Amino acid sequence: MAVQRKLRVGMVGGGGPSNFFGGPHRTAILMDNTAELTAGALRSSREGSLQSARELHFTRAYPDYESMLREEAAMADGRIDYVTIVTPNDSHYAISKASLEAGFPVLCEKPLTMTLSESQDLARIVRGTGLPFIVAYTYTALPMVMLARELVRAGEIGTIRKMETWYPQGWLSGRTEDMGVQQAEWRVDPNRSGASGCGGDIGTHAYEFIRFVAGLSALQVSGRAHTFVAGRALDDDFTVLARLSNGGIATIAASQVTVGAQNDNGFRAIGEAGTLEWSMLDHQSLKLFKPGQPVAVYRLGAEYGYFPDSIRPYLRTPSGHPEGFHEALANLHKTIQLQIRRRNGEQTPDPYPHPGVADGAAGMALIEAAIASSRAGGAWTDVVQVD
Amino acid sequence: MAVQRKLRVGMVGGGGPSNFFGGPHRTAILMDNTAELTAGALRSSREGSLQSARELHFTRAYPDYESMLREEAAMADGRIDYVTIVTPNDSHYAISKASLEAGFPVLCEKPLTMTLSESQDLARIVRGTGLPFIVAYTYTALPMVMLARELVRAGEIGTIRKMETWYPQGWLSGRTEDMGVQQAEWRVDPNRSGASGCGGDIGTHAYEFIRFVAGLSALQVSGRAHTFVAGRALDDDFTVLARLSNGGIATIAASQVTVGAQNDNGFRAIGEAGTLEWSMLDHQSLKLFKPGQPVAVYRLGAEYGYFPDSIRPYLRTPSGHPEGFHEALANLHKTIQLQIRRRNGEQTPDPYPHPGVADGAAGMALIEAAIASSRAGGAWTDVVQVD
Amino acid sequence: MAVQRKLRVGMVGGGGPSNFFGGPHRTAILMDNTAELTAGALRSSREGSLQSARELHFTRAYPDYESMLREEAAMADGRIDYVTIVTPNDSHYAISKASLEAGFPVLCEKPLTMTLSESQDLARIVRGTGLPFIVAYTYTALPMVMLARELVRAGEIGTIRKMETWYPQGWLSGRTEDMGVQQAEWRVDPNRSGASGCGGDIGTHAYEFIRFVAGLSALQVSGRAHTFVAGRALDDDFTVLARLSNGGIATIAASQVTVGAQNDNGFRAIGEAGTLEWSMLDHQSLKLFKPGQPVAVYRLGAEYGYFPDSIRPYLRTPSGHPEGFHEALANLHKTIQLQIRRRNGEQTPDPYPHPGVADGAAGMALIEAAIASSRAGGAWTDVVQVD
Amino acid sequence: MAVQRKLRVGMVGGGGPSNFFGGPHRTAILMDNTAELTAGALRSSREGSLQSARELHFTRAYPDYESMLREEAAMADGRIDYVTIVTPNDSHYAISKASLEAGFPVLCEKPLTMTLSESQDLARIVRGTGLPFIVAYTYTALPMVMLARELVRAGEIGTIRKMETWYPQGWLSGRTEDMGVQQAEWRVDPNRSGASGCGGDIGTHAYEFIRFVAGLSALQVSGRAHTFVAGRALDDDFTVLARLSNGGIATIAASQVTVGAQNDNGFRAIGEAGTLEWSMLDHQSLKLFKPGQPVAVYRLGAEYGYFPDSIRPYLRTPSGHPEGFHEALANLHKTIQLQIRRRNGEQTPDPYPHPGVADGAAGMALIEAAIASSRAGGAWTDVVQVD
């Protein structure tokens, strides 16, 4: 076997001391020994950006993403293979656009942009260029969520009647944004987060379960975006009832004020012939209910034959050696890396169809419709279809 | 200690071979050795009624409830102390009314009546007569639900922002009503069940958690009653978003088509200072979440000092000796028995404030508003306040 | 259908205010509406005994068990159908013997006697008279434990290699016997409890799982009976390693000093082809593990087809309506009642083979061998075979 | 802040396609962006070793560990900072010894050696040289296990009476070693695994919980090493009862034939004032039981204030973002890296006292005593004390 070179990753954002996503993405990029931290434009100040990239052992430090993209694109060889974007929401669009236009594949944090039209613009560019683009709906890359998708596609639960999704968190139950927590500060700021706080930050994750696991989209929504904490400009609670593309219905229940909830997203896919249930709190299990039968509990483990070939490259450890968040993120990086290696002519396993730019745009469409519905007292509102 | 006489119970309905509720109520009446099955009018046919009462060891058998009420009321002594009603919904009103008018306290199954105005009529009679009246919201009588109520009242979670309630079942995911299951037959029949199937049967239980545990009521609702199974006249899925009397919000998610769900009702009471969570699937535990602290898991057990005096008479066994449905039902009978003994001048522990006729009426008000809202595409609809 | 008369039960013991077992047995006898509390000799003092039986609504009150047995046996008709014994251990033998000799079937609490030879004597009488005799290994009457037994017998897990059993409790972690808790007082007293405290009280339950579920018995044991709490005469911790009749091995881990453990008995039956696991903490589930397959979780519910006919008469409620300790006790009473009705010529379902006098004797044999082994530093010690 | 250089790691073993531990250790070394894969001698054949190191992106490839140690030791600068050993057990001793003698700190897989005397020899060298040495008892590096240790030390459960430890696996329930699974082949081979199969492989992990969490050691043991699968030379089931250094007792229940068990190690630390319970199956929780109080469930999350400063550097993610096996391994590498940086004069947080060579030796002492006891029919056998 020939030696497979490590891919070179450029990162924008993620260098600040309180940035949450930079660290996990760096771990995810490094942990599989298939890629390296090559180029970094990690902070908003030029000095900070250069300093941070050096401290974090990037091979090349840049003062800003524009110079990074320009100089990397100009290299004869050794240039970066893709860009990872971990800035706050308000700069996703510009950096993604510039990266694509400079010819680089992109893995971008979610929500994808500030508005639907920005997302649609990115989708157009991706279609035009054919460049790989992954949106970091990280939970779709947990193996049991991927297995749920496969069991649905295999018909195990029949036609889906209802998708219940949830995402309670508790970290914004008080005025966290006033306690020096930068993660909270920008998330409650409409200028940096967009039209919805809770909906954009976590409601989009819940909605992506509907798209990814069930393969369905919302046609119409009745939404309620609620703000519980006084003085907060954006919603911290987000409830949606949706009519689905197959005639079924769905609920999205997201909240940031559920004291004690950690990061408890999950779903229940209710079909005519069975139910699949998964929860982050027990993320290495997947439950399948069939009428009159014992519950079948699938468990994570590389040795289990019930994982189809499409998931197998994403399994790392034997059963009972728990994986988690970092591995899920690494799976998204694996997918874009496989896509890139394919384009480069390498033989690789199939990249799994993890969420792309269309899913990012669909999330924005959901948010815009839900917020409009909420402002109209929950009136049923059409969701722009982006696929 | 003087010997405390057993109370004498009359039962209407519950004698048929496929009746679900008759058996558990008889168990609940007998198991504490405090009451006896005295008078029975257990079936719709005169012959069947007499036969069934003899087979089930009732002291006195009646052909119908009218004769039972008439003859018992006429007795100089030894007459029944209260009436338990376990017929289908459409006869609750008439039997309750007749029982009250004959001077008997009532413990009635839920939903209380077919319409709100019937419930309001019963409430008027109860207010007028002062007779004890309990509605069988059985789950409010599980000790951990009672403890949740007490912790809310003690301020453990502060002002409640949101009540999430749920009640998924799966038994009607197919056309159960065509398979000879009488329990299913009448539940999907508008003439015997009322305006809502899923909402009336189990949505009302979920709503009662909001009233009983949180002490709140719904002012306005946006509802969706959905029928998944083709050919069914009533809803088998029932979703409500509510604005609460304290400015908070609530969700009710009830379904009868969640394949594999057993009888999984529960709630999450989200307050400014903490969250209480309880689920039927783990009904002997109650979880209290406070910011930054370990989760406190209260467990059922007569020896635990954290049960206040108000609950203590309802505890039966030391921890780890599981109780369940029968004991919960028996607790409701205990409450009405304590109320009756009090009226009779006996010294007893305080009866716990389990749901009464107002709660039954509140359930009907919720159903009527939710169904009206659903028919209006989810428009916000006022809920008649019954207290 | 002809009316089936209620069986008449005599009870010895269980009338004192702090007696634990009297109440649950009365509940168990009453709750199925098939038997009544007829004769009581409930306390050690003559006056207390008469008073207690009246307060507890027994039809006939007796000053002591001797007079109860004598007078009941002399009745032309209406005499009791069986005797339930809920006294401390030291009187089980004499009362059982007298009851049998008076011609009455017996349901006796465990451990059956103070010594193995007493148990063997009872076994001899039972064999001679053919009278029904049930020992209250209550947990064998939980439906999921019965299902485990059936799955083992159906070969689902193949030949059993190892039976792991456990029974941690925490209620004796302090000097509970000095705090006025009568339940603790007699249990730590060798004169009333026998040669082993923890082993006799709960170790015997764990051992019965080996006999009942796996159908195996211990041939040799290496035991350690340990006393953690200073000043206590009997063991409060009991560990046994056993060689089984089929060449396999077993462990029994019982303790009364596991702070926080409630009543957490359970077992893991490890076979060549699968593992069955059950725990009191989740007593309505039974897990079946097969190599490479999803875990199959059987759940309690009268509607599930996977319960064989032999268990079906012992199911009470639809799934999700939890049962527990009282129903398990009631199942033991049901078994002896079915045995009695059979003897009387009634048509009944088959009584389930719940533990009888041989199982009581086997428990004593296990205790005697384990205590002898413990005294010999854990030396392998033969267990007298009693079947 | 000055840029902290990445440490340079040498690895011996772990390059073969079926090697289990090589991959996770490489992930663990890389994921924190603090160290790099510098020197590799990864396979037994010279050619394979060179090829494997190149494929796995090591900076320098060596044909064998001797040349690696010799050449690295001879470098003026840029030499490796420590050696990670992931070969089968039989070569741990020689490679560890050579590494230490060449002046390199060592992180070695367990069990540490083939015999106790080898371990004692290593311990002598470590004492003499003062070089950092970590034994990969990986589960001690899970944050909740570290928290358990801290709670014990803080007196939360008082004097420990009993340590129950367990480690069931199921992967050797059949003749896995005949199915081409190299992991199984060498583990059942006495020449490569040592005197005990199950005991050495996983029993030592369980015993380390006793040492690490409780701070206790076994003085005497009664052991049973059992082989269930016909034709296997080593034990696949390992049961130990131990007398502890503080007068308490302990149990170790390890098995490789528990069909369906994944990797389910755990412990219950039973003290006079409380119980701490932890299980790999729910490894992000830790339960504390105190008499009469709600169970306190500690959960993993970098934001929780109940983690003491000593653990804080080992926390990576906010609550609800699950971590697992890789992070635990990375924590061990972090500890040795912190030890090394300290020796180099860098300012670092305190390295946590993770298991060192004495713990490796203690594991061997336990195995030798348990196997000797098992051969003597479970006779109580002294355990050599190695600290």
Report the C-alpha dihedral over residues B47, B48, B51, B52, rounded to 10 degrees.
-160
Which candidate, B97, B106, B110, places its Cα nearest to that of B364?
A: B110
Suggest the residue from D270, D287, D289 to mutate for an interface test with chain C (most C CBs closer than 10 A).
D270
**Interface contact B334, partner C, CB < 8 A:** no
Task: Provide the mean pLDDT of chain C.
Answer: 94
Average pLDDT over residues D192-207: 93
* Contact predicate B40/B70, CB 8 Å: no
CB contact (8 A) between residue B320 and residue C262: yes
Q: What is the pLDDT of residues A222-259, one digit of tens each?
A: 999 999 999 999 999 999 999 999 999 999 999 999 99
Can you give the pLDDT at residue C268? 98
User: Looking at CA atoms only, how far is residue C289 from chain D in angstroms?
Assistant: 5
3-state secondary structure chain B: CCCCCCEEEEEECCCCCCCCCHHHHHHHHHCCCCEEEEEEECCCCHHHHHHHHHHCCCCEECCCHHHHHHHHHHCCCCCCCEEEECCCHHHHHHHHHHHHHCCCCEEECCCCCCCHHHHHHHHHHHHHHCCCEEECCHHHHCHHHHHHHHHHHCCCCCCEEEEEEEEECCCCCCCHHHCCCHHHHHHCCHHHHCCCCHHHHHHHHHHHHHHHCCCCCEEEEEEEEECCCCCCCCCCEEEEEEEECCCCEEEEEEECCCCCCCCCCEEEEEECCCEEEEEHHHCCEEEEECCCCCEEEEECCCCCCCCCCCCHHHCCCCCCCCCCHHHHHHHHHHHHHHHHHHHCCCCCCCCCCCCCHHHHHHHHHHHHHHHHHHHCCCCCEECCCCC
Chain A, chain D: beta-carbon pairs less than 8 Å apart: 109
Asked if D295 and B299 come within 8 Å (Cβ–Cβ), the reply is yes
> Could you give the CA distance from residue A287 to residue A296 in angstroms, rounded to a whole number?
6
Q: Name which of A258, A277, A380 is nearest B270 (Cβ-Cβ).
A: A258
- For residue C111, what are its two tokens? 């451990």
Residue D304 touches chain B, beta carbons under 8 Å: yes
pLDDT score for B21: 85
- With 70 as the cut, is the pLDDT of residue D107 above it? yes
- In this complex, which of D294, D299, D303 lies closest to B296 when CB atoms are compared? D294
Q: Which range, of A62-71, A321-330, A364-373, averages the lowest pLDDT?
A: A321-330
Residue C276 C-beta-side C-alpha neighbours within 13 Å = 30
- Whether residue B296 and residue D295 make contact (CB cut-off 8 A), yes or no, is yes
Whether B139 contacts B228, CB under 8 Å: no
Contact B258 A239 (CB under 8 A): no
Give the pLDDT score at D1.
Answer: 52
- Tell me which of B361-370, C101-110, D315-324 is least confident: D315-324
- Cβ of D295 within 8 Å of Cβ of B292? The answer is no
- Partner residue opposite B378 with nearest CB, options A173, A270, A380: A380
Task: Tell me if B33 and C56 make a contact (CB, 8 A cut-off).
Answer: yes
DSSP string, C297-346: EEE--TT-TTS-TTTGGG--S-TTS---HHHHHHHHHHHHHHHHHHHTT-
* Closest CB from A251, A257, A290 relative to B161: A257
Residues D163-190: tens digit of each pLDDT: 999 999 999 999 988 888 777 888 888 8
Inter-chain touch B31–C326, beta carbons under 8 Å: yes
pLDDT at site B180: 81
Q: Which of A258, A268, A290 sits opposite B275 (nearest CB)?
A: A258
Amino acid letter, A320: G
A4 interaction partners in chain D (CB closer than 8 Å):
55
Instruction: Find the range with the poorest average confidence among B63-67, B315-319, D155-159.
Output: B315-319
Q: What is the average pLDDT across A33-55?
A: 96
Give me the phi and psi of C103, to 5 degrees please.
Answer: 95, 15
Report the run of H or E that residue C369 belongs to, with start and end. Answer: helix C357-375
Residue B27 and residue C26: Cβ atoms within 8 Å? no
For chains A and C, count residue pairs whose Cβ atoms are closer than 8 Å.
32
Name the band, by pLDDT with cuts 50, 70 and 90, for residue A318.
confident
- Touching C (3+ Cβ pairs <8 A), the chains are A, B, D
Among A3, A33, A324, beta carbon nearest to D26: A33
pLDDT at A387 over 80: no
Option in C33, C264, C319 nearest B26 (CB):
C33
Residues in C closer than 8 angstroms to A299, CB to CB, are: 294-295
Establish if D323 touches chain A: CB-CB under 8 angstroms. Answer: yes
Q: Give the span between the Cα atoms of C182 and C179, in whole angstroms.
A: 9
Q: D236 vs chain C: nearest CA distance in angstroms? A: 12
Min Cα distance B295 → chain A (Å) is 8
SS3 labels along A6-28: CEEEEEECCCCCCCCCHHHHHHH
Distance from CA of C329 to the nearest CA of A (A): 26
pLDDT of B18 reads 72
Pairwise CB contact (< 8 Å): A259 & B157: yes
Q: Do D270 and C255 touch (CB under 8 A)?
A: yes
Find the residue in B nearest to A260 (Cα): B289
Q: What is the pLDDT of residue B387?
A: 66
d(CA A106, CA A82) in angstroms, rounded, equals 6
The predicted structure's pLDDT at residue A278:
97
Does the CB of A11 have a partner CB in chain D at under 8 Å?
no
Assign C323 a pLDDT band (cuts: 50, 70, 90): confident
Query: What would the mean pLDDT of B119-132 be, rounded to a whole number?
Result: 95
Per-residue model confidence as pLDDT tens digits over B7-22: 999 999 999 877 778 9
Identify whether the C-beta of residue D164 lies closer than 8 Å to the C-beta of residue C251: no
Q: Is the pLDDT of residue A370 over 90?
A: yes
Mean pLDDT of B175-193: 83
What is the rounded CA–CA span in Å between residue C40 and residue C21?
14
SS3 C212: helix
Range of lowest pLDDT (B94-103, C357-366, D200-209): C357-366
- Predicted local confidence at residue D201, as pLDDT: 94
What is the model's pLDDT at position D387? 66
Show which subunits contact B, needing at least 3 CB pairs below 8 angstroms: A, C, D
Partners of residue A30 in chain D, C-beta under 8 Å: 30-31, 33
Query: Any chain C CB within 8 A of the CB of A294?
Result: yes
pLDDT at res. D200: 94
Average confidence (pLDDT) over D211-239 = 95
| % pLDDT > 70, chain D | 99
Nearest Cα of chain B lies from the Cα of C254 at a distance, in angstroms, of: 15
Mean pLDDT, rounded, for C227-245: 95
- In chain C, residues with a C-beta closer than 8 Å to the C-beta of A306 are 292-294
Average pLDDT of the segment spanning B284-289 = 97
Q: What is the pLDDT of residue A1?
A: 52
Residue D47: pLDDT above 60?
Answer: yes
Q: What pLDDT shows up at residue C278? A: 97
Q: What is the pLDDT of residue B1?
A: 52
Residue at token pair 């969420």: A355
B3 reaches C (C-beta below 8 A): yes
Cβ atoms of A318 and A301 within 8 Å: the answer is yes
Is D323 in Cβ contact with A324 (below 8 Å)? yes
Q: Is the pLDDT of residue D232 over 70?
A: yes
User: What average pLDDT does the structure give for chain B?
Assistant: 94
Does residue B179 sit at the C interface (CB-CB below 8 Å)?
A: no
